[in-house]
A and B are shown apart, each in its own frame.
Chain A
Amino acid sequence: MKTKGAEKIISVYWFAILFIVAAAVVYMVFSFYGEPYDVRGIETGLLVDRIADCLNSGGYINEDWQNLDESNILDECRLNFNVEDTSGWNDDQYYIEIEISEFNSGKILEEVFAGNRNLNNNCGIESRNFPVCLERSMYSVDEENNQYKIRILSVIRKTEKNVQ
């Protein structure tokens, strides 16, 4: 039969174990959910898809592609590079680059840039703390059967929100 003293010790032990388990669960939850989701990979993909939609419709290249430039590309493609006012961001978290060239010769016909050009310098660096870059290509034709290669590069920084 257990004495009263032993029962007290066991109660203290149980409370200690309970506290350890609770603390461990809290720590696990924080370590699992505390890290933000890095969705920049998806975001760059969506940006490229949006630009592709804007440049190619129904299989044909946009008729006004020769008039696209830095000043109108965002309006033409209905893009908005404004970002939330956080971590000293100054609407400089995005960069896009579009290059339209002849499919057969590779001669560059048009280059359009928009956003923060400095972000482009960090492409190729494999680290979570650097901007995420995505470069993809697309084939297109016009009504006169001219063939084009369209290269689209999208870069997104937003490191503070996606990586801790």
Chain B
Amino acid sequence: MFNKKRKVSNRVQIGKKILRYDSSRHGQIGETMTWIVATMVIIVILALSILVASLVGNSREVSGQDFQNKDVLASKSFFSYLLTKDSGGETVYKQIQSEENLNDFNGNLGRDIFLDFYSKEYLDMWVGLFFDRTFNPSPSNDYFGDRPFEIRVGYIRRNIPHITQEVFLDENKSLELALKIEN
């Protein structure tokens, strides 16, 4: 009698165990899937990072334009231009100082020098007389047109990156060579 009872309780226990194993198997599969997906995500992120690192690492050319804030040759050309004399023996500097604008001689000479030498290296350029820059930030002349280095949207002004070389005529006026490096 006692043995019979024991046998029955064993069977129940075995049955319970089987039931317990069955329900946990679903949980294990779900957990494994989570780990696999997590591993895949980690591998994909690493692969992307490696790809980006190798792409960026391959283009390690350091160009002069990355640090450019002046152009030695253009500046020297500009100073020589200002020292050039016309047939009357007057320098371009003196001419512009007295006439307050470019004339045929210095305007065309400026175009011959700067457009010929530097138009391939820069997006745009301007040479001219710069008056009061607060009220007239975009002066123009017949030889180089408008000074295209400032964009105005309403009251907001944005400077376009450019290199300048300036020679002051007095407190408010200056002669400027401006070379545009970016749009």
B73 & A136 in contact (Cβ 8 Å cutoff) = yes
Using Cβ atoms and an 8 Å threshold, which residues of chain A touch B73? 48-49, 52, 136-138, 152
A13 & B35 in contact (Cβ 8 Å cutoff) = yes
A58-B79 CB under 8 A given contacts A17-B39, A32-B57: yes
Q: Which of B46, B58, B117, B121 contacts A138 (CB 8 A)?
A: B117
Centre residue among B49, B53, B56, B82 by max chain A CB count within 10 A: B53
| Nearest chain B residue, comparing its CB with the CB of A16 | B39
Number of interface residues of A (CB under 8 A): 40
Flag A111-138 by CB within 8 Å of B: 1 or 0 each: 0000000000000000010000000111
Flag B79-121 by CB within 8 Å of A: 1 or 0 each: 1111111000100000000000000000000000100110001
Q: Which of B53, B58, B64 contacts A41 (CB 8 A)?
A: B64
B53 & A60 in contact (Cβ 8 Å cutoff) = no
Using Cβ atoms and an 8 Å threshold, which residues of chain A touch B84? 141, 145, 147
| Nearest chain B residue, comparing its CB with the CB of A6 | B28
The answer to whether A139 has its CB under 8 Å from any CB of chain B is yes
A31 & B64 in contact (Cβ 8 Å cutoff) = no
The answer to whether B43 has its CB under 8 Å from any CB of chain A is yes
Besides A27-B53, A38-B60, A136-B121, 8 new A-B residue pairs in contact (Cβ under 8 A), listed by A number: A17-B42, A20-B46, A37-B62, A41-B61, A48-B73, A59-B76, A60-B80, A138-B80
Between A and B, 22 residue pairs with Cβ closer than 8 Å are A17-B39, A21-B42, A29-B53, A31-B50, A34-B57, A35-B58, A37-B62, A38-B61, A42-B64, A42-B67, A48-B72, A48-B73, A49-B73, A52-B72, A52-B76, A137-B116, A137-B117, A138-B73, A138-B77, A138-B117, A139-B117, A147-B84
